[in-house]
Amino acid sequence: MGLMYRLFARPMLRFQDSEKAHSRTIFMLKVMSSNFLTRKLLSLLYLSRKKLPVNVFGLDFKHPFGLAAGMDKRAEALLGWESIGLSFTEIGGVTMFEQEGNSKPRMFRSDSKKALINRMGFNNPGSERIREKLSKHYLKRGKPKIPLWINLGKSKLTENKDAHVDYSTTMKRLWKFGDVFVINVSSPNTPNLRDLQNQDDLKRIIDSCMDVNKSEAKNVDNVMKPVLIKIAPDMVKEQLESIVKTALDSGCSGIIATNTTISRPTNLTSKEASIFSETGGMSGKPLQELSTDFISMVYGMTEGKIPIVGVGGIMNAEDAWEKIISGASLLQAYSGFVFEGPSLSKSIVNGLSKKLKENGLSTIQEAVGLKHRNGG
């Protein structure tokens, strides 16, 4: 099915506006997964039979591969992601207030480089409407069978000095629905958002979210939800060290490396240059090496003592394996689904299973950080 997608579906996408193609894809997945029979068909086509269980953040995952934020901003296809074989789903980013995002066009695609440029700007219905949507889904369908992650962003109209209120309000509204929460201060598409990566502002945001975490947990079972920080790949090592230290000192459970980058590839054709001149964050294959380098740096800084979620340019099992041996315990993809189609999850899980056998390993956990232990 992956070959069919590359031969027929992907070429057709070239003639469509990138954002419209994205919306149509999410709609089709939502429709296909809403019916038992078609949902079963999706599972038959795209679900891997390989078993690669991992336990991270105190949660059980069928395998290490899940969906990155940005693909399903509005939590529209929750049943679909499980049906095509992912082990967890991250929705959002969700902001305190509803917002339309930046003006269109705001998403651009380079098929030759397998890259996306986007400047969406946290377009989403806002935390109150997402709460209503999740509440209806849970009542009708029950809790998702795979862990649900929620990406927290800052509303554009909220000033940075009040950012902690924006993040913590969204977390409070959605706390009972999410299994993991991700503090996103690293998107390049909201003005001055990345300024919040400084030590004081970041600590204020984390502390405010942790206060919500504690108070909500006290009302249920006293078990707090994991809170992760998503970092940008556009910083020097000293900045990264400061962010990682702040995250650890404030009680965060892990790091997601990385968000999109404002850097661009070189040696471009005139057509490619036109696409890559667009403002916004770049994801896809050109980000693969950079994000893997950041995973490796974070693993070294933390001595492998905190889980890292690797995301950026994963197009196949080889890319996924490289991130795992560099230090990632879990993996996510977004652009990979655009360029490789819904069979990506199955091919990666099957490929990782093969990689474990080739290296004489039994579990994914044994492979995490393998490059560091082997002196790589």
Inter-residue contact 314 to 286 (CB < 8 Å): no
Contact 65, 349 (CB under 8 A): yes
Per residue in 52-63, pLDDT (tens digit) is 999 999 999 999
Distance CA 248, CA 158 (A): 26
Tokens of 210: 């942790």
Q: Which residue has the tokens 């149509």?
A: 24
Note the pLDDT of residue 21: 87
For the chain, which ranges sit under pLDDT 50? 1-12, 15
Active-site annotation holds for 208: no
- How far is it, in rounded angstroms, from Cα 351 to Cα 335? 19
CA angle, residues 220, 223, 228, in degrees to nearest 5: 125
CA atoms within 13 A on the CB side of 292: 21
3-state secondary structure of 254: strand
Instruction: Find the catalytic residue in 186, 187, 343, 347.
Output: 187
Q: Which of 196, 195, 256, 260 is nearest to 226 (CA)?
A: 256
Query: Beta strands of 68-145 (E only): which ranges?
Result: 89-94, 107-110, 115-118
Residue type, 113: K
> What is d(CA 212, CA 227) in angstroms, rounded to the nearest whole number?
11
Beta bridge partners, 283, equal 116
User: Alpha carbon of 212 to those of 149, 160, 218: distances in Å?
Assistant: 16, 19, 10
Closest CA to 111 of 209, 21, 235, 206: 21
Structure tokens at 111: 């098929």
Amino acid identity of 135? S
The identity of residue 65, as a single letter, is: F
Dist. CA 98–CA 117, nearest whole Å: 23
Q: What tens digit of pLDDT does each residue of 81-111 get?
A: 999 999 999 999 999 999 999 999 999 999 9
The Cα 213–Cα 168 span in angstroms is 9
* Helix residue ranges, H only, the chain: 2-4, 10-13, 18-34, 36-46, 78-83, 127-141, 163-174, 199-218, 237-249, 270-276, 288-302, 317-326, 335-340, 344-358, 364-367, 370-373
Residue 159 CB partners (closer than 8 Å, separation 6+): none
Q: CA 266, 69, 130 angle in degrees (round to 5)?
A: 145
pLDDT confidence of residue 1: 47
Copy the structure tokens of residue 293.
């380098």
**Residue matched to tokens 């974070």:** 298
* Predicted structure pTM score: 0.95
What is the rounded distance in angstroms from the CA atom of residue 353 to the CA atom of residue 344? 14
pLDDT at residue 15, rounded to an integer: 46
